[in-house]
């Protein structure tokens, strides 16, 4: 997994199954016409809309963030002018999973 221009690994930091029990994880997959979409961007925003971080989706169209408990927003940007924002609530020990059709 290589890093994009901001230093974050493409797709987000990998975690092993079971390692998320002490983390609040926000993750998802971006697809277009049912196929994974690489090169899209997922931005993590605070509940107030402030920028926190960004990752590019990898070959599998995936992204992942670790967050503190609370309200967050995930904004997904992709080619062909696609942009969508999702409100999520993160909790330690739980994974929030988004499915985005761009």
Between 2.60.40.10, 3.40.30.10, 1.10.3470.10, 3.40.50.1820, what CATH number should domain 19-101 receive? 2.60.40.10
Report the run of H or E that residue 65 belongs to, with start and end. strand 62-67
Nearby residues of 1 by Cβ (< 8 Å), 6 or more positions away: 9, 10, 11, 14, 58
- Region 32-44 average pLDDT: 97
With cut-offs at 50, 70 and 90, classify the pLDDT of residue 2: very low
Query: What integer pLDDT is reported at residue 1 of this predicted model?
Result: 43
Q: What is the pLDDT of residue 22?
A: 80
């Amino acid at each position: 997994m290589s890093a994009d221009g901001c230093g974050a690994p493409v797709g987000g930091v990998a975690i092993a199954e079971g390692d998320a029990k002490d983390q609040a994880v926000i993750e998802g997959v971006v697809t277009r016409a049912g196929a994974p979409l690489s090169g899209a961007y997922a931005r993590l925003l605070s509940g107030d809309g402030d920028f926190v971080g960004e990752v590019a989706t990898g070959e599998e169209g995936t992204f992942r963030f670790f967050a503190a408990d609370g309200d967050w927003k995930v904004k997904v940007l992709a080619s062909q002018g696609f942009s969508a924002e999702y409100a999520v609530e993160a909790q330690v020990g739980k994974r929030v999973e988004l499915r985005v059709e761009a």
